[in-house]
Amino acid sequence: MTRLILASGSESRAKILRDAGVDFDIMPAHVDEDAVKDSMLAAKQSHRAVADALAELKAQRVSSSHPQDFVIGADLVLSFGGELVSKCETMADARSLLSRLRGKSHELYSAVVLAKGGSPVWRDVAKATLTMHDFSDALLDRHLEAGGESLLSGVGCYRLEDSGAQLFAKVDGDYFAILGLALIPLLSALREQGVIPT
């Protein structure tokens, strides 16, 4: 079998692949995500296109150094009220973001690109719409206290796979894509490429 590399340091993405029984190595791609976002938004590119471009850039960056291997690049962006929301830097920022999202809907664009030889061979961009209920300040406090600074690693600071699920009234979209990696279509692509058994 060909070696598979995950071009991400995301614990969530690694766990998704590990739990699915996929063997892979981890080599985070070091890209200036903010510069790419700023450039694309200045050019009036869609939030979907930003997620796709970042996933492709990560995959290509690692694939160029390991051309014989298959490389997975992934990115997840949050779109709210026409704004592309970046990761929070502090717990105060997380509280402010979750207060803004409370009682409203937002979109997640989850992109994954599979590359070999420095070029994409497959891609997928999934869209999910998530609606938070009008939760109390007490629930928000409990969520932030329980998650702590680890919440800052996710763009929405909510971690749907844990107690953050209590913040939501409705979720429309692929569960794995919401966590950061559209697993089912990716597994299909990996089978087609002969990376995992059929």
CATH of the domain at 94: 3.90.950.10
Average pLDDT of the chain?
96
- Give the range of the structural domain holding residue 101, as residue numbers without chain letter: 4-192
Q: In 22-135, which residue ranges form alpha helices assigned H by DSSP?
A: 33-42, 47-65, 91-101
Q: What is the pLDDT of residue 1?
A: 55
Please give the distance of CA 12 from its chain centroid, rounded to a whole number. Answer: 9
pLDDT band at 2 (very low <50, low <70, confident <90, very high): confident
Total count of domains within the chain: 1
Active-site residue flag, 75:
yes
Residue 24 lies in a domain: yes
E strands present in the chain: 4-6, 25-26, 70-80, 83-85, 105-116, 119-132, 168-172
Q: Which pTM was predicted?
A: 0.95
Render pLDDT for 17-32 as a digit per residue (tens, 0 to 9): 999 999 999 999 999 9
pLDDT above 70 coverage of the chain, percent: 99
Residue 198 lies in a domain: no
What does the alpha-carbon distance between residue 21 and residue 107 come to, in Å, rounded to a whole number? 29
**Mean pLDDT in residue range 27-44:** 94
- For tokens 């694939």, name the residue: 63
Residue 197 lies in a domain: no
pLDDT above 90 coverage of the chain, percent: 98
Catalytic option among 52, 69, 75, 124: 75
Residue 91 backbone dihedrals phi, psi, to 5 degrees? -65, -30
